[in-house]
Amino acid sequence: MRLHGETVNITWRVPTGEVDGGNSPIYESESESVDDVLVKPGTGSNATDSIRPDGVTVTLTLAFPRIWEYRSLKGALVTVRGHDYRVIGDPLPVDGGMKPTRWNLLVELTDTGG
């Protein structure tokens, strides 16, 4: 049986090099679709802080294909099945010439609601 992933969309905030009236950087959005991404549902949990009694945290783990030209995912949003998730940290691809599978980058995502 051959594994095949699904298409996800990545959105980055990219600085334009300009600043606004308060001297803060101005950003624009840049997006890219990536095919053949494996999606593994992670854990869901209730938020435990008292100011969000109905809060829920959801996580996913994605495996990006080796053929995707790596670019830092720090701070990016990834849309999976129509829902936006935030990338946790700044994941790096597996390196060193090991090629046991078509996927070499594990990306953890999170979203909190409520």
pLDDT by residue for the chain (114 residues), tens digit each?
A: 677 899 999 999 999 999 999 999 999 999 999 999 999 987 655 555 555 555 567 789 999 999 999 999 999 999 999 999 999 999 999 876 666 778 999 999 998 765
Domain ranges of the chain: 6-15+26-113
pLDDT for 43: 66
Q: What is the DSSP string of the chain?
A: -----EEEEEEEEEEEEEE-TTSPEEEEEEEEEEEEEEEEEEEEEE--STT-TT-EEEEEEEEEETTS-----TT-EEEETTEEEEEPS------SS--SSSEEEEEEEEEEE-
Q: Number of C-alpha atoms within 13 angstroms, CB side, residue 112?
A: 10
Q: Please report, as a single letter, which amino acid is at residue 57.
A: T
Q: Which of 63, 72, 70 is nearest to 103 (CA)?
A: 63
pLDDT value for 55: 59
Give residue 95's pLDDT: 76
| CATH code of the domain occupying 6-15+26-113 | 2.40.10
